[in-house]
Structure 1
């Protein structure tokens, strides 16, 4: 995009505004009239459902433990602050997408910021994080199936059983097919959360200890911080979701619904479960419930875990597919090469996540490494860089000075992402070292 194009589309000096998104020549999917496969079919309501299904999933089950580590007051403030922060960065990401219709994923955005190196780093990070996301829900699904069957089978078999529906449901080429499946997914995690809260309420832990605040060191405190950070870590999919909207200009409506629902649900769930279970609450918190309530909560949540895993697998495959076939007939037509490639990518992505989840004993901690390295930037830090980039190309230093509040907020956003990345990586790496030192690390492919 040239500086002249940005200047021509600027409305006023009040704020950075989006370009005309009807620029078909620059849109990642172009003009879809007459094509066999049409991608731009999503309404903002369905995008909101997809966002909730992807983000409000197994990550919320660690939030009560965060309150146990730092106390109710700091934990609740953290959940609400990160929700508000995620809403702000959602706005920055969406404005950048509207300014650059050619952006389909973080790799494309990286190319605009840093050229070929940025494209490869952010694109690869998206794929790695998505694969780890599939592995994460596979492990949670493994626990759910083990709970439901009283651990009668090897855990590795449970992971294999759970991986099958994730594989099958990630095959649709367009997100509109997955969006309708996301509706029962959202209902399932909402009901499962309610069951978890009711189960903890009718079975409070005797002699439990509750604390408004807890004095703790930096390491333990940041462990508590990483849980809500990861619970909001879904922005890496936003560009992909918006690219398949009929009206990308409505994307912020979906983001408001997502963050409003997620922040409210997270706060209520974390407080209620912690209040009745206390400092001994486990992660995932459903595992702290009595057996019958644990089974009920896990059983109801399984559809959400499956759909979330399918969305992650779809995302990793879609990034590679668009990279291979952008502007080609294989993107919009039912060609043998197109479908064979898509099928191969889906199988490879799901196979990689499954193998990693059962072959790497510390995979749950490696998920944390991937999250701190990439999600800290995708959800928070890099949004500031996007705003600074476009503001600079509109008016250089003059524009940055005129919009000094936005400039300051964007710089602080970038620094916040850097802090979460560095501190989070240190914490996770220390957890890995401690796990090996304590002998708690298991063996590959073990039950």
Structure 2
């Protein structure tokens, strides 16, 4: 099934489980997956239902990223913007299917690092694990900045911005402390409700207060750098696939994971299009990013205030993911993973604190942090959400179905997955290029502030 199995010991062993249960059954999956049988354990991870997984996916993906979509339409125009959002939503659904199928065939995979080990051995595991942690920490920092903006709007900027970030970091840390995603899933329910209501309030506020003399275009012409910067907004608004393996690992019935993916992508794509189009049509080409900042003060305060639970829980999910990857790596197959031990809980709390502290320091201490989020997303999210799915499909078909001949026999899917790999590479390289160019321009124009400034 893959290289990782040769390294990790399981209880029962893969050979014993395969002899007892057919490989395709759910019983076999639970016998050999990362957490193993849990009936007698104090801490049980595999408790999530697929509706709660869908809620978790929506909570972490449909968040502050959608507030940049109206400005994307302002750059490329209404029709191209809609086409990009819908296409990326459909593309994300396809790559989600590939990731889920790979996880079901390789129950021992817990995170992108484990998948990297199967593909490329030790270097693959270290690189993809490192990328997951880095992107999760940067995404947490991005949510802290979103919370900072929300709190600053609510208080009319009465405090130093760094203080707002610190205030928001405390509940984010506390909400990321539960050891299992089941606990966080219930916190994610109000998170999803809050971003939906906030989006509706934002659209109503835009409709009741349209920008006088606003300009909107069906399609706009612009240079590559500007256009691609706008396209990266919807690209990274879907950037949540790096969590999928971890989420599925804590499901009661992982075979139902695709149901959650359908709910996520259909809801996200529909909501993104409706929100982006309505906001852009009423606020015009000068709409801000985040778009709530273009609303009149009372509407901006209402929208930001309602969205705060979503920013908070999304940040908690990201930092939880980074800590969970390392925690399972340290204690895989040990009693500290499933029992209330001092070492287990001490390590978990320390990891959660480190991830949140790193996100806070980066958010307030690095003047170009917003651009660094773009670099991290280009380097890692482009692969986790899009490109790596192609490599996983090609690997499994090659090893399980008969090598190169199997690729030729499935020529259509082979072509799609090769293009998926190429798309990930293009987004990675082009995203890096335009982000670095933005950083250079920001320094030249004097827009970059001092570290730890208000």
**Residue 79 of structure 1 pairs with residue 61 of structure 2:** no
Quote the offset at 1:402 in angstroms. 1.3
Give the TM-score, by structure 1 length.
0.96
Measure how far apart 1:2 and its partner are.
6.2
Report Cα offsets for 1:380-437 as digits up to 9, x if no partner.
Answer: 0000000000000011112111111111111000000000000010000100011011
Match of 2:286 in 1: 280
What TM-score, normalized by structure 2, do the two folds share?
Answer: 0.95
Instruction: Give, in whole Å, the separation in 2 of the partners of 1:226 and 1:64.
Output: 13
CA displacement 1:145-204 (0-9 Å, x = unmatched): 000000000000000000010000000000000001111100000000000000000000
1:340 to 326, 335, 346: 346
1:240 pairs with one of 243, 246, 253:
246
Distance 1:406 1:43 in 2: 30
Which residue of structure 2 aligns with residue 415 of structure 1?
422
Once the two structures are TM-superposed, the CA of residue 25 in structure 1 deviates from its matched residue by 4.2
Contact 2:2 2:118 in 1 (8 A): no
Instruction: Report whether the alignment pairs 1:224 with 2:251.
Output: no
Whether contact under 8 Å (2:139, 2:373) holds in the other structure is: yes
Match for residue 32 of structure 2? 26
Matches within 5 A, 1:32-181: 32-181=38-187
CA shift digits 1:253-305 (9 cap, x unpaired) = 00000000000000000000000000100100000000000000000000000
Give me the whole-angstrom Cα distance separating, in 2, the residues matched to 1:219 and 1:22.
51
CA distance, structure 2, for counterparts of residue 437 and residue 96 of structure 1: 46
Aligned residue number for residue 8 of structure 2: none
Mapped contact 1:21–1:101 kept (Cα < 8 A): no
Q: 2:436 aligns with which of 410, 429, 434?
A: 429
Alpha carbon RMSD of aligned pairs, Å? 1.3
1:446 to 443, 446, 453: 453
Corresponding residue number in structure 2 for 1:356 = 362
Among residues 296, 307, 310, which one is paired with 2:302 in the alignment?
296
In structure 2, distance between residues paired with 1:20 and 1:444: 54
Does structure 2 conserve the Cα–Cα contact (< 8 Å) formed by 1:21 and 1:98?
Answer: no
SS in 1 for 2:221: coil
- Which consecutive residues of structure 1, in runs of 5 or more, have no partner in the other structure? 10-17
Runs of 4+ in 1 over 6 A off after TM superposition: none
For the residue of structure 1 that corresponds to 2:32, the secondary structure is: coil
- Matched residues, number: 436
Give the superposition deviation at 1:208: 0.4
